[in-house]
Amino acid sequence: MGNLLYRLLLTFNATSLIIVIFLIKEKYTIICLSSLSIYISYIIFICTPIVLTGISLLITRFLSSDSITGEIKDVEQANNAFLPSYLGYFFVALSVPYCETLVFIFAILFVFTFLSQTLYFNPLFLFFGYYFYYVTTENNVKLFLISKKQIRSSKGLSFPTLKRINNFTYIDKGGKK
């Protein structure tokens, strides 16, 4: 149950920027107290996903522990592979004319992201110093790894302190290297 809730939080964090862009485009405000209220609202809109992402990183300590043992055949950086998806989210948010349409589109994106098993890419993780990698094991299994390590080679690489998000996605809690 805890893992399901965590995956739902990660999915929301990964897709919530579409809501932020829409709210800013439509000039929604939370506070109507001063002429600065629109900017205060924008800051709150932007900070909310950042704070939720920080909370999701803190919660990782409660996930089950795992490791990648054996030879790692290949490591590919995945940061750039997801950029087109996020640019697409931004363009969709900018072109959606109604809040009702946004709710429908967000629900579809949320479900597909949740069910994808590997698309927990959240560009806000970059603010927290994380990078994204595809790791291919000796058994030719391709895993999605979120790590603070800057990996340039698979030679001698190991991940003894992982937290399992699902069967294909892990977050490395071993620190920077």
pTM attached to this predicted model: 0.84
Assign 45 a pLDDT band (cuts: 50, 70, 90): very high
Residue 177 has pLDDT above 60, yes or no: no
Q: What are the angstrom distances between the C-alpha of 150 and each of 63, 120, 130, 165?
A: 23, 19, 9, 21
Task: List pLDDT tens digits, range 49-81.
Answer: 999 999 999 998 888 899 887 788 889 888 777
Q: Where are the domains of the chain?
A: 2-172
- Tens-place pLDDT, residues 81-136: 777 777 787 888 888 999 999 999 999 989 988 887 666 678 888 889 999 999 99
pLDDT category of residue 169 using cuts at 50, 70 and 90: confident
pLDDT confidence of residue 37? 79
Return d(Cα 110, Cα 149) in angstroms, integer. Answer: 28
